[in-house]
């Protein structure tokens, strides 16, 4: 099928036929897999048929073409429809379609970027639209290219707050290159949605957030076509098309029936007959103009800040100052912040590179979503807020790893050392959460020069990375030209006759060094390891210390679970040798308000507590 | 001050004076602390003065009185205002007020339930309103008491999606016992909010979500009074009062100035003079009627389900069936689900106890918020969805621990064993996340009878607890009358000459048992520990196994970080003895789609992989 001049009724016929093919193929692949959600695909088939044949501009042979539109299935469980669409567009073969959900197939249960046409993984509801908003913003404000962003949402997922963070940003920023199609099939996984087919309820909400809205019959292809056309031509506002549809459309046994969500059809052959059988329609999707090139900024020579050894500075400040310089050196770097730039110190970057700084307000999920959208188009995002509040976006971060996204997270005000604000503002679980993200890198500098170097290093780290930055000033102990590779460590105190090793990171490095002084006064020789790279951790240095000193004290400003101590133990648990005696010091009681120094002492992670634990180990007295 | 008959101008004078006292005391306590956010307190002082003097019904001498209204400072950083209010109500002394943010003081940087008048900790924005919605629902539908819920929000936090999840529920469910006061002071932490003083922008959004809205001058006490009165009398809709205010109101040096958010005033004495000096106003807040008793359900005799040893059943199904029975036995039990009750199996409870089942739709943050609200009033909530999607509410869970809340989380479809749906639906970081919650309990049953018992046990577990339930059927290996205490373990395979210990939980218990059979064929005697209580873990049994067998293989359907393996290592790292040789088996590569059996094999956590690792350990070959 090609888009030659046709009468409306011919166009409508071909679109309906295409939609039926998408339905049939959705049924075929999920039946072959004995798994999947065909009925949620069938409701949206007309929407996707019209989009593919008449509005999408995409070169399936060149998925990285800068001018390509972006299409995100926010309702990732409609993957049978997505893959049927790829087949109709000639991107995959029928044989590959039928590999759906098999071991080794690229056609996973929910789409992931293992397929080159998929920008981001979906399957956790309410994430595709937020990321789509990020891509629309990238297109208009960074790439400055005319591509459009199309998002297919389910109605169930409109209950997610993340949808409304995204709606707020898109409406406020007037992202008119964004069109959202909502498949209002009124049935969620378990039963009816709150609003059923009351598309007006959704329209009022989106309109209040500044959107252009259209309510249509989602099975009338010409109505769909008109709505998509109107969306393309509507300026100054994003458009949401609220399409009333029927789940399982076209097959009596399942159409608009509850309880048919999570399963293939029981009689696929009959269903396919009912839909008019298999078809062999191929759509030549209109490609974008070839000569489009994204806007890029210019690098300018600059030099990372240098802090004088012996002076005092906060690692968050070093991070902020360094980031501004990284912005000079690396023109692809963009920075997002959650209305805390004065505290996270990204304000240095905002001042230096206002066009590449994005205020995301107090909407952490949306901040991460925009970062994910920007990296899809090759930008290098850093996203920062109080580390405690990154937990708000944990599902987005988890999914970003499945998206194979590269996003740099920076969390400040970590641990009890944050002081008087109290536990709500203290990240005490962030190391656990971020270590447990697939392929992540977790860094925790203890001084300003180390923070500076690690900030620069992050630009070249792929995957999800995290820099843990402290609120308070700490002594500068490393020179400005020292290197701190990912996976490395520093051993600021070491002698051949060390009796115990103190493993610390961030603020506890300074406590450990002071503890080593106390211990020396008591005649105990202690090694100190600065494990600034918490993941990957420097296993070789830890093993050597374990074998040479036989005793290890780990000390961290974090709950005992999942943080530095666990990282050290994991490195030593290599299955090859017995582990040394290990004592973990960490925050065990719920903190309140107090000064940073009081907090460290109350938590038992200050120099005195460390020294006492080391003395006990050396004396053979466990405290466990 | 008492509420005798007064002319309007006298009332207005007294209310203004009360507000000035609140401002002065907010300044005094934050200046004494050299820390805190007085300007965000000063903007809302008139709102709180009017509420306290004229509308709140609360017995400060009996904070647990069932008829008490509930007042939540969603903008927890206005804690100086909250504490000044407590002083004005006679709940705390001036001396205690001045202990603000000191070590040991109950007056933390952000309010927590260390104070008996605080229902829940706030300080992470966008959480107080969602929990307030939960309390309003509890009041109307569970307690059936006429208490009102008042929430003070900041304007910045309206950017959080969680606010709109809450707005959707409150509007749709017509919670007219809920009033939200928004302190629209137009300035966030770093700078202006998106909408500034455009209260109409917020009003349109709330109205679209079904709310009654009022836009007022938040410094005109009679306007505030009229709005609060209207809210109290408005039926069928929750009310939001959008009050235009000025940050730092009343003190020229800071009023409506940017950059004055995160600090006490530089000249507090001058500011206090400008506000008319200290006052000594005491409000006798109107208590609620004394005879109010909450509705409670009746217990009925019932018996936990029993599964036949050797049969097959999914732990999620056992959980669901058991939960319905727990509902019979424990009339305070309530259940919430995120539109997945068919999959999580809470549908059994929904069918048996429809009045105590709450469909929360696809809004996980709001689900947890409602659970937190319900437990404030003594109900025993279980909240369940796919374990992967509990990550969406991680910040709420973290804060719930600071709230000293008791909430039971149940996550299903865990690990790669979830199978074909792919990684977006597989919780692989949930053990790490939930272990790293302060005071949490983490349970992971391997068979239906164990799941049944643990489901019942959870009702009496305080704090945040988590049950990890599997999608697929597993063999029933324990009898229906066996006990599984929190902190315990089972050792289904043990002999005095064991050469290696396999520590497993959930689905990997069955793989470990099969591996032990394989190893026996090879002449290797392996102990198997079922660590169903991942936190607290049975350290004594693990230490005994370590000392008796000298080698440990841990195997878990989870990323390597923060899960079972780390829990085992932590238990052994007691500082008293060297650890044995340990090899951790866990999911290390990003899974795709495959059958559950294929997934376990591909991840290297199936019986063959376990046996191979054990053989290597016994032969002294590490794989680390």
pLDDT score for B624: 45
Q: What is the DSSP-derived secondary structure letter of residue B503?
A: E
Q: Mean pLDDT, 10 residues at a time, over chain A (624 residues)?
A: 72 97 98 94 98 98 97 98 98 98 97 98 98 98 98 98 98 98 96 97 98 98 98 96 98 89 85 97 96 96 98 98 98 98 97 98 98 98 98 98 98 96 97 98 98 98 98 98 98 97 98 98 98 98 96 98 97 86 97 97 98 95 58
Q: Between chains, do A339 and B156 touch, taking CB under 8 Å as contact?
A: yes
Q: Round to whole Å and give the CA distance between B559 and B576.
A: 28
Instruction: Name the residue among B205, B394, B584 with its Cβ closest to that of A573.
Output: B584
Q: What's the start-to-end Cα distance of chain B, in Å?
A: 73
pLDDT tens column, B17-30: 999 999 999 999 99
Q: Is A364 a catalytic residue?
A: yes
User: CB A112 to CB B422 under 8 A?
Assistant: yes
Assess contact for A513 and A507: CB atoms under 8 A.
no
What's the pLDDT at B480? 97
Which residue among A125, A161, A189 sits closest to B164, beta carbon to beta carbon?
A161
Task: Say if residue A95 is exposed, middle or buried (CB neighbours under 10 Å; 0-12, 13-18, 19+).
Answer: exposed
Amino acid B4: pLDDT: 59
- The partner residue sitting opposite A124, judged by closest CB among B122, B389, B574, is B389
What does the pLDDT look like over B365-421, one tens digit per residue?
A: 999 999 999 999 999 999 999 999 999 999 999 999 999 999 999 999 999 999 999
CB contact under 8 A, B342 and A156: no
pLDDT at A259: 74
Sign of the torsion angle spanned by Cα atoms A74, A78, A80, A84: negative
Closest chain A residue by Cα to residue B427: A398
Contact between A442 and A534 under an 8 Å Cβ cutoff? The reply is: yes
pTM more than 0.80: yes
Which residues on neighbouring strands pair with residue B313, listed in sequence order? B474
> For residue B341, what pLDDT is reported?
97
Q: SS3 string of B337-393?
A: ECCCHHHHCCHHHHHHCHHHEEECCCCHHHHHHHHHHHHHCCCEEEEEEEHHHHHHH
Given a cut of 50, whether residue B226 has pLDDT beyond it is yes
Share of chain A above pLDDT 90, in %: 95
Name the active-site residue from A108, A160, A364, A556: A364
pLDDT at position A624, please?
45
The number of C-beta contacts closer than 8 angstroms across A and B is 400
Token pair listed for A216: 């249509």
Query: What is the share, in percent, of chain B residues with pLDDT greater than 90?
Result: 95
Calculate mean pLDDT across residues B259-281.
Answer: 90
Are the beta carbons of A424 and B439 separated by less than 8 Å? no
- The confidence band for B2, taking pLDDT boundaries of 50, 70 and 90, is low
Task: Check A124 against B207: CB less than 8 A apart.
Answer: no
Q: What is the mean pLDDT of residues B577-605?
A: 95
Contact A104 B76 (CB under 8 A): no
Quick: pLDDT tens for B424-457: 999 999 999 999 999 999 999 999 999 999 999 9
Above 90 in pLDDT, residue B577?
no
pLDDT in tens, A237-263: 999 999 999 999 999 999 999 877 667
Nearest to B593 among A108, A188, A594 (CB): A108
Q: Is the peptide bond before B536 cis (omega within 30 degrees of 0)?
A: yes
Contacts of A460 (CB under 8 A, 6+ apart): none
In this predicted structure, what is the pLDDT of residue B511?
Answer: 98
Tell me which chain B residue has its CA closest to the CA of residue A361. Answer: B159
Return the pLDDT at A4: 59
What is the pLDDT, as a whole number, of residue B79?
Answer: 98
């Amino acid at each position: 099928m090609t888009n030659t001049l046709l009468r409306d009724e011919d166009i409508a016929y071909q679109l309906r036929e295409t939609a039926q093919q998408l339905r049939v193929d959705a049924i075929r692949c999920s039946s072959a897999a004995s798994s999947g959600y065909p009925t949620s695909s069938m409701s949206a088939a007309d929407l996707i048929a019209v989009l593919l044949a008449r509005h999408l501009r995409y070169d399936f042979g060149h998925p990285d073409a800068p001018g390509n539109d972006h299409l995100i299935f926010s309702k990732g469980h409609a993957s049978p429809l997505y893959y049927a669409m790829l087949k109709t567009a000639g991107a995959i073969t029928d044989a590959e379609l039928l590999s759906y959900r098999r071991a080794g197939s690229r056609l996973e249960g929910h789409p992931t970027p293992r397929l080159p046409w998929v920008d981001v993984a979906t399957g956790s509801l309410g994430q595709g639209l937020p990321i789509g908003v990020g891509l629309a913003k990238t297109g208009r404000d960074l790439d400055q290219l005319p591509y459009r962003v199309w998002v297919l949402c389910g109605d169930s997922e409109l209950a997610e707050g993340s949808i409304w963070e995204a709606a707020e940003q898109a409406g406020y920023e007037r992202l008119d290159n964004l069109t959202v199609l909502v498949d209002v099939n009124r049935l969620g996984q378990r039963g009816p949605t709150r609003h059923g087919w009351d598309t007006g309820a959704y329209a009022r909400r989106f309109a209040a957030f500044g959107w252009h809205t259209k309510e249509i019959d989602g099975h009338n292809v010409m109505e769909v076509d008109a709505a998509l056309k109107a969306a393309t031509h509507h300026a100054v506002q994003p458009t949401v098309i609220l399409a009333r549809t029927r789940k399982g459309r076209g097959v009596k046994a399942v159409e608009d029936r509850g309880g048919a969500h999570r399963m293939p059809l029981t009689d696929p052959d009959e269903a396919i007959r009912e839909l008019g059988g298999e078809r062999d329609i191929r759509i030549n999707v209109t490609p974008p103009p070839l000569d489009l090139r994204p806007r890029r900024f210019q690098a300018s020579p600059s030099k990372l800040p240098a802090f004088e050894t012996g002076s005092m500075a906060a690692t968050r400040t070093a991070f902020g100052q360094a980031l501004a310089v990284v912005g000079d050196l690396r023109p692809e770097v963009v920075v997002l912040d959650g209305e805390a730039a004065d505290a996270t110190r990204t304000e240095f970057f905002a001042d230096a590179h206002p066009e590449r700084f994005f205020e995301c307000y107090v909407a952490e999920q949306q901040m991460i979503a925009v970062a994910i959208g920007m990296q899809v188009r090759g930008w290098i995002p850093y996203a920062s807020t109080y580390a405690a509040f990154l937990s708000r976006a944990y599902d987005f971060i988890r999914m970003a790893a499945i998206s194979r996204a590269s996003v740099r997270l920076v969390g400040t005000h970590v641990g009890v050392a944050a002081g008087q604000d109290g536990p709500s503002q203290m990240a005490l679980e962030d190391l656990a959460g971020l270590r447990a993200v697939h392929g992540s890198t977790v860094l925790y500098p203890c001084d300003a020069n180390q923070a500076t170097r690690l900030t620069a290093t992050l630009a070249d780290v792929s995957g999800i990375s995290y820099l843990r930055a402290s609120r308070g000033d700490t002594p500068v102990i490393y020179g400005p030209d020292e290197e701190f590779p990912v996976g490395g460590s520093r051993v600021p105190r070491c002698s051949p006759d060390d009796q115990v090793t103190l493993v610390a990171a961030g603020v506890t490095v300074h406590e450990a060094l002071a503890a080593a002084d106390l211990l020396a006064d008591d005649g105990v020789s202690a090694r100190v390891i600065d494990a600034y790279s918490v993941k990957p951790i420097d296993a070789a240095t830890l093993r050597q210390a374990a074998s040479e000193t036989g005793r290890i004290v780990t000390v961290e400003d974090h709950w005992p679970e999942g943080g530095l101590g666990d990282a050290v133990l994991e490195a030593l648990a290599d299955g090859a040798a017995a582990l040394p005696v290990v004592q973990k010091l960490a925050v065990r009681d719920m903190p309140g308000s107090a000064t940073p120094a009081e907090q460290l002492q109350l938590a038992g992670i200050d120099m005195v507590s460390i020294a006492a634990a080391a003395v006990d180990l050396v004396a053979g007295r466990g405290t466990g």
